[in-house]
Amino acid sequence: MTLQIGAIGCGAIGQDHIRRISRVLSGARVVAVTDIDAQQARDVVARHDPAIEIMDSGRALIAAPQVQAVLVTSWGPSHEELVLEAIAHGKPVFCEKPLAVTAAGCMRIVQAEVAQGRRLVQVGFMRPYDAGYRALRHVIAAGEIGAPLMVHCAHRNPTVAGGYTTSMAITDTLIHELDVLRWLLDDDYASAQVVFPRKTRHALPHLNDPQIILLETVGGVRIDVEVFVNCRYGYDIQCEVVGETGIARLPEPAAVPMKRAASSCTPLLTDWKQRFIAAYDAELQAFIDGVRDRQLTGPSAWDGYAAAVAADACLLAQSSGAIEHMASAARPAFYQP
């Protein structure tokens, strides 16, 4: 009954997911791996289980009969082809973001999955599995603050690597808000605008930081997201939903409140990897359970497509300075909740 998983890509994220499946999660094991760097694949085998088979390619791994489900953690440009291949074999696939590097690529996956007839794809958006966001969504759904009207968000990193660019603020950073806010509000985006405050002196010359992204949903909700990736003080994710009768906020991560040195203080995270560590476990456990129950419920190929369309509009808004309207395709009935 243990689900047999094949993992494509043994880099940092791949290794982390393989460790999860082997040591933390219930009901699955890794039976095959592949990586363009064969040594990476051998290291994984050595670290976790000599019984894991090393495959020559992603295609071979997907085709292998002992592989019942596929994990795609290779580099982004390879995702589309691998996911389509898994669909062609009728094998469930967990694909790290991005689902594909273009909205058109995402749409091809959507069409293949719909044609295939049942949900096979889960995209690696982990925030809907975060206990805080889930509690926030529950509060909204229970009507405790009335119908949402506005959402105020911030996504702050203490610093970023030198290669981080202004557009990555959309594709690597904001992308998480683009995903989770659709899910939180059960709504789609209608337009995007980006404004640039005075740049912080702590950003490299090529990077415009911070920036504020203004989104409007089809339902008329106004969202503002501050993206500030050189905020220095910590890794801080804020989300406040203003409803017709009240407001609700994403809970802060639990930490020890102290009083010391003339200050009442609580430590903040500085490493993003710590922030959603439990959500990474939960998303993959949900995939395993979903495959075993033949009912995937997590972020779908359609969610991957919608995030890609929204990100494209935000990128356009960055350069145009104007309000950019989004023309998303209609959501197929296949993906209706």
Query: Smaller CB distance to its own copies: residue 132 or 299?
Result: 132
Interacting residue with its own copies among 144, 295, 325, 329 (CB under 8 A): 144
* CA diameter of the chain: 64
List alpha helices for 121-229, DSSP H: 131-141, 168, 175-185
- Residue 44: phi and psi, rounded to 5, are -60, -45
Nearer to its own copies, 86 or 296 (CB): 296
Smallest gap from Cβ 75 to its own copies, in A, equals 28
Rounded to a whole number of angstroms, the minimum distance from the CB of residue 159 to its own copies is: 11
Q: Which stretch binds its own copies (CB under 8 A): 6-14, 84-92, 145-153, 166-174?
A: 145-153
Whichever of 264 and 336 has its CB closer to its own copies, that residue is: 264
Site for its own copies in 236-295 (CB under 8 A): 236, 242, 244-270
Rounded Cα–Cα distance for residues 18 and 249 (Å): 33
Pairing mode, strands 121-123 and 222-228:
unpaired
First to last CA, the chain: 28
Nearest distance in Å: CB 255, its own copies: 6
Nearest approach, Cβ of 332 to its own copies (angstroms)? 26
Identify residues 19-58 at the interface with its own copies (CB under 8 A): 22-27
Residue ranges in 198-227 that form contacts with its own copies under rule CB under 8 A? 198-202, 210, 212, 214, 216, 219-222, 224, 226
112 touching its own copies, by CB under 8 A: no
CA distance 180 to 107: 20
For its own copies, the binding residues in 62-91 under the rule CB under 8 A are none
CB 152, min distance to its own copies, A? 7
DSSP 195: E
Closest separation in Å from C-beta 205 to its own copies: 16
Q: Which residues pair with 151 in a beta bridge?
A: 223, 241
Stretch that binds its own copies, among 39-47, 92-100, 121-129, 133-141 (CB under 8 A): 133-141
Phi, psi (degrees; rounded to nearest 5) at 129 = -100, 0
Q: What angle do CA 105, 110, 114 make, to 5 degrees?
A: 150
Identity of the residue, 84 or 160, whose beta carbon is nearer to its own copies in the bound complex: 160
Q: Using an 8 Å Cβ cutoff, are 158 and 234 in contact? A: yes
For its own copies, the closer of residues 81 and 188 by Cβ is 188
Q: Residue 271: CA atoms inside 13 Å, Cβ hemisphere, count?
A: 3
Between 43 and 226, name the residue whose CB sits nearer to its own copies. 226
Helix, strand or coil, per DSSP, at residue 139: helix
Answer for which of 152, 312, 328, 335 binds its own copies (CB under 8 A) is: 152
**For its own copies, the closer CB: 37 or 244:** 244
Q: How far is 265 from 257, CA to CA, in rounded Å?
A: 6
| Total of chain residues touching its own copies, rule CB under 8 A | 73
CA dist 161 and 177 (Å) reads 21
Q: Which helix (H) or strand (E) holds 194?
A: strand 189-195
